[in-house]
Amino acid sequence: MATGGGSAPSNTVSSSKTLLKSQALYKYVLDTTVLPNEPECMRELRLLTEKHNRAVMATPPDEAPLLRMLIKLTGARNSIEVGVFTGYSLLATALALPDDGRVVAIDTNPEYYELGRPFLEKAGVAGKVDFRAGRALDRLDELLADDEASNNLGRFDFAFVDADKPSYAAYHERLLRLVRVGGVIVYDNTLWDGTVALPPDAPQLSDFDRRISAAIRDLNARLAADDRVEVCQLTIADGVTICRRIV
């Protein structure tokens, strides 16, 4: 997963967080269906984010249309986003939600969120966002423990998770209580640059990738065996897993 560096023209993408082995094919996908339909506010935020020294954390542009499509197909009005960074996926979500829609956005670093907030305001969707700084497990537990918890249980239609990978399994248990039956939970980076298919002792793995890959493999096994959800694994971006709550 390459980090972005410097500014890029509006019709190019400096990062290549994709499992496609052909950069020419990835460019074709971007140039044909993604970038021509990218809202101007999202393009501007993407270009700003590509200059950030942690740009690799951003949702890639070919994943954002998937999130927007899922929100519209499910008729979602209330959403949760765990892991915001500068807010490219958050902006995609806010644009896709109806006028009375709301998204609770959680991130440990409010400074990253503040970088993207002007683009939410420019797009006229900042009012849909309820940003909550702090550890995601703490913020999710607060939603569950709220005095009006009965209103939070099953209140959300959609959730997108792109945060601390070893905590994904813990997020899942909490989100299954917050997202309604028939609602959708989406997990990002669930193939971790393809390393989930490598032996745990593969010499090319760094200690960090070995730890994250193990956490992701554990998550994928848990999701596949979880009879409370229907699961669909996509190879878009760095791996995206869609869970539909059925119980």
How many Å from the N-terminal Cα to the C-terminal Cα in the chain? 35
* Nearest to 91, CA basis, from 130, 126, 53, 56: 126
Residues 6+ apart with CB under 8 A from 201: none
Sign of CA dihedral 142, 80, 137, 52: negative
What tens digit of pLDDT does each residue of 177-233 get?
A: 999 999 999 999 999 999 999 999 999 999 999 999 999 999 999 999 999 999 999
Q: Assign a CATH topology to domain 23-245.
A: Rossmann fold (3.40.50)
Cα separation, 209 vs 89, whole angstroms: 24
Can you state the angle between helices 40-49 and 88-96, rounded to 10 degrees? 170
Cα separation, 163 vs 182, whole angstroms: 23
What tens digit of pLDDT does each residue of 15-52 get?
A: 567 899 899 999 999 999 999 999 999 999 999 999 99
Query: Hey, which bits of the chain come out as E strands?
Result: 78-82, 102-107, 129-133, 156-161, 179-188, 229-234, 240-245
Task: Give the mean pLDDT of 61-89.
Answer: 98
pTM of the predicted model as reported, rounded to 2 decimal places: 0.92
The residue extents of the domains of the chain are 23-245
* Mean of per-residue pLDDT scores for the chain: 93
Residue 67 scores a pLDDT above 90: yes
